[in-house]
Structure 1
Amino acid sequence: MKRELLRFAVAGLIGLLVDAGVLYGMLALGAGYFAGRAVSFVAAVWATWQINRRFTFVRGTNKSPWVEWWHYLFAMLGGGIINYAGYTAAVLLLPRHALLPLIAVGIGSLAGMTVNFVSAKLWVFKPRS
């Protein structure tokens, strides 16, 4: 369990970097903080799914990758709602700064991580019976 949580956290850190990178790219293209974050969130979910399915929850499931992806995306939406609420609060309450998107993504990611770990472990990557 500790090893899975550590690997999940590492995947989450990589996901945070993907999230922030895509968000900054979307902002450069003219998307706002919120539309850009919707795109960056999906990119981060895709990246963390790829990592978690190969390195964190390695026992595998009996789901096809297509079904597993949709289950993972759906499961991450629970933590994503908490994540997005933390992000939104940070964007609205903190002063504007070049690092605001990165700080807000970090706050949101930490807020949603526990919900995401539990749903991934107990539903998406539940071991084959």
Structure 2
Amino acid sequence: MVKLSREIFLFAVGGVGGLIIDAGIVQLLVSLAGWNPYLARVLSFVTAATFTWWWSRHYTFASRQSNRSAHAEWLHWMGLMSIGAVINYGVYALLLLNFSILYRWPAIGAAAGSAVAAFVNFVAARKLLFKSPKAST
């Protein structure tokens, strides 16, 4: 139970880092570069998901392995996270569609979407990718 609690805590820390990256990029692209907030979110999400994969690989699930090369593991991570991404992006889009002020503050929508999808992402990562304990050396 302690190990699971530690993994949940570290996943949350990585998630906060990913959220900062995600929200920061989407906000910068919309506010400073004039990007469409829907398109900007795609780039911000891919960048943030890459960070959270790296974090999870090195910290959250450091005692687990995927039995895949780094590239294959990243691809599998992105595939699994696409489930959370659909939930994440759906919440984001619904909020933007229903609250026009969020066009000026898309980071709020990004944060809400990330929070809703976090549980799904943790379970998918732990049960479907980093499912094998690392062998003791």
Q: TM-score, normalised by structure 1?
A: 0.92
Structure 1 residue aligned with 2:74: 69
Structure 1 residue aligned with 2:21: 18
- How far the C-alpha of 1:67 sits from its partner, in A, is 0.4
Distance 2:104 2:19 in 1: 14
Larger radius of gyration: 2
| One-letter identity of the residue aligned with 1:82 | I
Distance 1:86 1:48 in 2: 20
Of 5, 11, 15, 2:8 maps to: 5
Of 111, 114, 118, 1:109 maps to: 114
- How far the C-alpha of 1:30 sits from its partner, in A, is 2.3
Percent identical residues: 35
> Which consecutive residues of structure 1, in runs of 5 or more, have no partner in the other structure?
none
**Cα RMSD over matched residues?**
1.6
Q: For each residue in 1:99-121, what CA deviation from the matched residue of structure 2 results, as whole angstroms up to 9, or x when unmatched?
A: 62121011100111111001100
- How far the C-alpha of 1:98 sits from its partner, in A, is 7.8
Q: Is the contact between residue 61 and residue 130 of structure 2 (CA under 8 Å) also seen in structure 1? A: yes
Distance 1:76 1:61 in 2: 15
Distance 1:125 1:57 in 2: 7
Structure 2 residue aligned with 1:50: 54
> Which consecutive residues of structure 2, in runs of 5 or more, have no partner in the other structure?
none
Q: Is the contact between residue 62 and residue 128 of structure 1 (CA under 8 Å) also seen in structure 2? A: no
Q: TM-score, normalised by structure 2?
A: 0.87
Of 88, 97, 122, 1:92 maps to: 97
Runs of at least 4 residues off by over 4 Å: none
- Using a 3 Å threshold, how does the CA distance of structure 1 residues 98 and 36 change in structure 2: closer, same or farther? closer
What is the count of residue pairs matched by the alignment?
129
